[in-house]
């Protein structure tokens, strides 16, 4: 099923809210299950296991919400720039220490807010491009004022991020829902930032590129 028109601002806000809820409902459910074990099981080993689960998924939920504040929300809205050190920190929290590894190679500095939001959404896209895990290498070309982002996704089973290629191609839009909205928002951020998205196949995986759009003559 395809989308026949772009969402209104209210529809976009609702879809992004649904995505954030979708991303945190799993960890929240795991916390609830852990609390049930603590209430119903007197076994010390079970209590230790439940507390470890609660600790891990609480960190996961916190990292996802912190990432969403910057990638989708108005975090840092007091100014027009975001510190790249902060972007690296919340990206590492989002990617985690499991099957994905983040290799951040962008130097420190202050960058325009919408471009940092685009970078964060590209990192989220890179995670979806590696369903079996792998390395996400984040590189910047150009300058902080006029950057290009190169995100290399290396790993077994690497594939173009779901839905993003359809938006880039300019063909019929996929139906927007809590899953596809992240790719749509990434595409919209690139357009509003004057950048063009590309997805390239590489022998070791997939490369996501955002580069300044060529000026129209």
Token pair 């998205």 is found at 197
Cα 212 from chain centroid (whole Å) = 20
Residue 62 CA to residue 204 CA, distance in Å, equals: 32
What average pLDDT does the chain have? Answer: 90
**Tens-digit pLDDT profile for residues 77-134:** 556 899 999 999 999 999 998 899 999 999 999 999 999 999 999 999 999 999 999 9
The domains found in the chain, sorted by start residue, are 2-212 (3.30.565.10)
User: What pLDDT score was predicted for residue 99?
Assistant: 95
**Tens-digit pLDDT profile for residues 136-194:** 999 999 999 999 999 999 999 999 998 999 999 988 888 999 999 999 999 999 999 99
Residue 77 CA to residue 5 CA, distance in Å, equals: 29
Residue 115 CA to residue 59 CA, distance in Å, equals: 26
Q: Has residue 2 got a pLDDT over 80?
A: no
Confidence of residue 34 (pLDDT cuts 50, 70, 90): confident
Cα 79 from chain centroid (whole Å) = 22
Q: In the numeric block, which tokens belong to residue 33? A: 């299950």
For residues 95 and 50, the model is more confident at: 95
User: What pLDDT score was predicted for residue 6?
Assistant: 87
User: What pLDDT score was predicted for residue 46?
Assistant: 82
Cα 76 from chain centroid (whole Å) = 17
Confidence of residue 27 (pLDDT cuts 50, 70, 90): confident
Token pair 């990617």 is found at 95
């Amino acid at each position: 099923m395809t989308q026949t028109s772009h969402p209104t601002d209210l529809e976009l806000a609702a879809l992004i809210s649904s995505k954030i809820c979708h991303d945190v409902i799993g960890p929240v459910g795991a916390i609830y299950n852990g609390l049930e074990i603590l209430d119903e099981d007197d076994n010390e080993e079970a209590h230790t296991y439940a507390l470890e689960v609660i600790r891990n998924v609480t960190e996961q939920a916190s990292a996802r919400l912190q990432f969403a504040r910057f990638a989708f929300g108005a975090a840092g809205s007091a100014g027009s720039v975001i510190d790249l050190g902060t972007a690296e920190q919340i990206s590492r929290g989002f990617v985690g220490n499991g099957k994905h590894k983040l290799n951040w190679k962008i130097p420190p500095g202050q960058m325009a807010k919408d471009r940092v939001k685009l970078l964060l959404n590209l990192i989220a896209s890179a995670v979806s491009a590696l369903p079996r895990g792998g390395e996400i290498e984040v590189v910047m070309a150009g300058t902080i004022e006029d950057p290009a982002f190169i995100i290399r996704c290396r790993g077994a089973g690497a594939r173009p991020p779901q839905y993003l290629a359809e938006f880039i191609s300019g063909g019929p839009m996929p139906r927007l829902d809590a899953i596809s909205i992240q790719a749509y928002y990434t595409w919209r951020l690139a357009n509003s930032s004057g950048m063009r998205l590309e997805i390239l196949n590489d022998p070791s995986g997939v490369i996501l590129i955002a580069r300044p759009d060529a000026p129209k003559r």
